[in-house]
Structure 1
């Protein structure tokens, strides 16, 4: 009986390791603009596994012990959110993690997630997963004030998608969204960036309507035709980043972006 239990445990650990290595992680809030004193719901999700990592759907629930989740406020201070998160489903691998934040400090907030772990995915692979989401806290929802632009500041992650377009004041249908992909802080070219609309499905192995390769400066741009929540995701396999413990390093980074029908009425000062 003990031998059977051990085998089951090993199988579950193997499946969990494969799950995280082959899937992506993302963060999102219910709105890009939240009134001061109200609640921002921060969700931590695992998925984007089907259709060549382009389906923006849940697939399991990540082990919180493997990740960091932090809120970075406009003044630069940060708070660890991981221990405040709770599951949205009773089954162990269903749903996602979430936490409510009562926000008071006006300005642009960032939530950021990191994971760096060796997984078994057919072979030993180091999986590095990062995710970001931004939201503005303002006194007024009708005419919010944008005090600072922080979206284009890299966070020093080993692999990250950096927004060059403001997620609050410059994002709308018909307006280009530009991102830069950084690997160890330097622009990386020829990386596929997918802009996946929630509920949408990308076609083929490379969809030119929603996918673009980064140029020599690590830049890629996309112009959305419809309002939606978009998952921006980039992947990179570093065959030369290996040790005796793992055979290569698999990177993925995501940013979620609310795209409205028209530019928001935001004032800057």
Structure 2
């Protein structure tokens, strides 16, 4: 995805770490299997994960047998990740921002893959691709993943847009333009990758899974995104009330979601 120019919000998730941990969907096993197959990762291969959150990608990577060095700048998020992986010698959790990661913690030419789920857009593209390429060993890959849930019932989504998100426009999702907009944004991200001149032409794909959330889980998912996480307590309470009112009026005991997944994998251009 194209880099987010509002990088000041990149630590907002740490303010809602517990909600983030419960609400964010994990990366599906089928997508992790695809990544492992394309990159040729083997058990015990060293992988650097950028913006690991509380382990939504870390855990399925470990299940695939690779050794993960997980970088997470958020103190609360990192504490939850450390607790989740305690006793697992195959996971090393590091603090700080990827751009500032010292050579002592991540020597150049070390990793079979650099991976990131729902975080790479927060990095400075003038630094991120070059640093990733330098950290990769020959033949290594950069693997980037995002997921973008939207309410499957278009009528319900329009009602939420109108009645719940009028004062919270960053929560608005237009069913007609959601996926085409993501596809355009993804193409801009691939252009950023190409401009770095450090990677070969990437493999990429969009797939769609389904989720079924309770009303509370749906609101928590909304809150786990940066633009909602930065709201004050009164605004969060107001948005929650509006969301629950719309869902109640709609008779929605559950909220079916379409979860659009985008993956982009590029091999380091060895010179």
TM-score clears 0.5: no
Tell me the TM-score normalized by structure 2. 0.32
Q: More helix by proportion, 1 or 2?
A: 2
Which one scores higher on RCO, CA 8 angstroms, separation ≥ 6? 2
Q: More strand by proportion, 1 or 2?
A: 1
